[in-house]
Amino acid sequence: MLPIRKSATHELIRDRLKRAIHLGDYLPGDRLPSERDMASQLEVSRVTLREAIKTLEEEGYLVTRRGATGGLRVTALAEPAARMRRNVGADQQYLEDLCTYRRTIECGAARLAAARRTRADVARIAAAVRALEPGIDMSRFRKVDTDFHRAVAAASHNRFFVEAVEDVRQTLFLLFSGTEHAVILPSTLQAHTDILAAIKDGDAARAEAAMAAHVEVAYQEMSRDFGFSRPGSPPRLR
């Protein structure tokens, strides 16, 4: 067994803020709450919060701007995205594993959502579909795309699906940072519309199939973006 490492409080805060940024809760250019407000919300000291912020500034997530319209803001995320893409590099197996994981988790969530959805769930998913409109910038696209997948997971009414979908969205958020949204938007909009229709109709099999097709197209698009000339389909679970 590996030794247990106790995380310092500022590391937990760093991870919490980084997760919020990865999921699009804070977009590039957004100003974070004041130091006083964040410390109060997180129930930590301002000194501990500053340690977390310093680390995120060093990692290229946050920048402090001066002046009346300044404050702590999210960067364009160029450095974290480049770091992520360098780590993936030419490792096509990484993308295949990611796609297989997505298909396993998100197809299950979509199937369960079709069986358990409420009117409120359908309305939330539909709102995310309507928000995915031509002309939105890349940051907004990633936010709306994540909102859709989180809404589908939430409609499953299974907390573990929600957590798993959020985990995979963190990785996708940075991987897609180097991809032009115009390349992804048409297929994404159609896929989201199909998944919504199936969930609204309560058709679990169709919801699962629509999500599987969506994940496969996303994999193919990411593969082309990373320069894999002959991407294959990730292995299916049997």
Convert the pLDDT of each residue in 76-122 to its tens digit. Answer: 888 988 888 787 766 788 888 989 999 999 999 999 999 999 999 99
pLDDT at 31 over 90: yes
> Exposure pattern of 70-100 as b/e (b: 16+ CB <10 Å)?
eebbbbebeebbeebbeebeeebeebbebbb
Residues 70 and 92 in one domain: no
Residues 160 and 51 in one domain: no
pLDDT at 182 over 50: no
DSSP reduced 3-state for 31? strand
**Exposure of 207 by Cβ count < 10 A (0-12 exposed, 13-18 middle, 19+ buried)?**
buried
Q: Is 238 a domain residue?
A: no
**How confident is the model at residue 236, as a pLDDT?**
59
| Boundary-marking domain end, from 76, 100, 122 | 76
Residues 13 and 35 in one domain: yes
Pick from 30-39, 60-69, 138-147, 164-173 the range whose average pLDDT is largest.
Answer: 30-39
Residues 71 and 109 in one domain: no
The domain total for the chain is: 2
37, β-bridge pairs: none
Looking at per-residue confidence, does 98 or 5 come out higher? Answer: 98
Could you tell me the residue range of the domain that residue 97 belongs to?
A: 80-225
Residues 15 and 102 in one domain: no
Q: Is 232 a domain residue?
A: no
> Which H or E run contains 65?
strand 62-65
Q: Is 154 a domain residue?
A: yes
Residues 24 and 110 in one domain: no
Residues 164 and 123 in one domain: yes
**How confident is the model at residue 70, as a pLDDT?**
76
DSSP reduced 3-state for 165? helix
| Boundary-marking domain end, from 18, 53, 76 | 76
Helix axes 181-201, 92-116, angle to 10 degrees: 30
> Which H or E run contains 192?
helix 181-201
